[in-house]
Structure 1
Amino acid sequence: MKSFKLDVEYDFDFDLYGVVSSSKEHTLAWALNKSFRIRLIKQADLCIDYLNKGRLVISNYLHRAEHGNLRLFRNRSVGTSTLAAPFLVPDIKEYDYVIQVTGGLNHLQKELLGTLHAVPLVQYVRPFDPNCLRYKENLLF
């Protein structure tokens, strides 16, 4: 019998930023709300189940705008995990949080780096190209 392989290519049309911060996620979300004049709202935790390996539970916040979204993810799994690398994006495990900007939030994207550097709770921030990450599929919802 002839077998076929399904080859799917996803469009990673979002901007991605890694954030180093020792603060709790709700405190960081509050500081980002204040700095950007947005409203990040706590969403239900994302649960990613890996077959026979374990579960990854990621805390996330969402700001919905008319033309796009801004998401704040905690990069490390909430609680205990049996995974060897309990990170949403193991490629950038040095970063505590991941910010994902999608859609037409162009005005926010341009000032994002400068404003993030000005937030006292943020120690370091760096943009990433999602197409260069090995585990970029974890960021598709």
Structure 2
Amino acid sequence: MQKKILKTDIHFDFTLLGISSGLPDFQLAWNINQQLNIHLKKVDDHRIEFQNNQFLQTSMLQYSTEHVTIKLIKNKVEVSESFAFVIPEAKNIDYFLLIQDDTGDLEILNVKNTLSKIKNVILVQEMDIQRLKSIDNLILN
């Protein structure tokens, strides 16, 4: 039987920043809150379910207004005595800052520059969503 592969072009309506930092999630969130004048707060963990009844659960903090949602999601998760990644092709990234801005007022370059000034933040980079094979792992149910 011949296999058919469906390829679709999915449009993502968010910007994704990758952050490398050794800070714990609550401390990074506190610093982001101070720098961006927002209020990221702990919400239910981000859970990814795989086909073989396996799942991955990681910390998530969120800030929402009527037109803007910002989520801080931890990429590196300790599983048994090793690590798993929400986005395995970005192993150098410790956290993702997912930004949905319906107004278009949020300037990503300013956000990047502001976050880069946080002590113990090594790298802040805008991720090319189209090139990430595992981007579906960040889509929340």
SS of 2:84's equivalent in the other structure is: coil
Following superposition, the deviation at residue 53 of structure 1 comes to 6.3
Structure 2 unaligned blocks of 5 or more: none
2:84 counterpart residue number: 86
Task: Say if 1:56 and 1:81, in contact at 8 Å, map to a contact too.
Answer: no
Q: What SS is found at the alignment partner of 2:85?
A: coil
Residue 97 of structure 1 deviates from its aligned partner by: 0.6
Instruction: State the secondary structure of the residue aligned to 1:12.
Output: coil
TM-score using structure 2 length = 0.84
* Cα distance in 2 for residues equivalent to 1:51 and 1:26: 31
CA contact (8 A) 2:19 2:122 kept: yes
CA distance in 2, matches of 1:140, 1:55: 14
Match for residue 127 of structure 1? 126
Q: Secondary structure at the match of 1:106?
A: coil
Map of 1:1-141 to 2, 5 A cutoff? 9-52=9-52, 54-77=54-77, 79-80=78-79, 86-103=84-101, 104=103, 106-141=105-140
Whole-angstrom CA distance in 2 between matches of 1:85 and 1:7: 31
Q: Give distance in 2, aligned partners of 1:20 and 1:50.
A: 26
Cα contact 1:55–1:81 (8 A) shared by 2: no
CA distance in structure 1 between the aligned counterparts of 2:50 and 2:36, rounded to whole angstroms = 35
Q: Give the count of matched residue pairs.
A: 137
Contact 1:67-1:105 at 8 Å conserved across structures: no
**Structure 1 length-normalised TM:** 0.84
Deviates further, 57-66 or 103-112? 103-112
Q: How much has 1:108 moved relative to structure 2?
A: 4.6
Structure with greater strand share of residues: 2
Aligned equivalents of 1:20, 1:110: Cα separation in 2: 17
Which stretch of the first structure deviates more once superposed, 24-33 or 129-138? 129-138
Q: Do the aligned partners of 2:46 and 2:73 also contact (CA within 8 Å) in 1?
A: no
Displacement after TM superposition at 1:80 (Å): 2.0
Moved over 4 A (4+): 4-9
Tell me the C-alpha RMSD between the 2 structures: 2.4
Tell me if structure 1 keeps the 8 A contact 2:71–2:97: yes
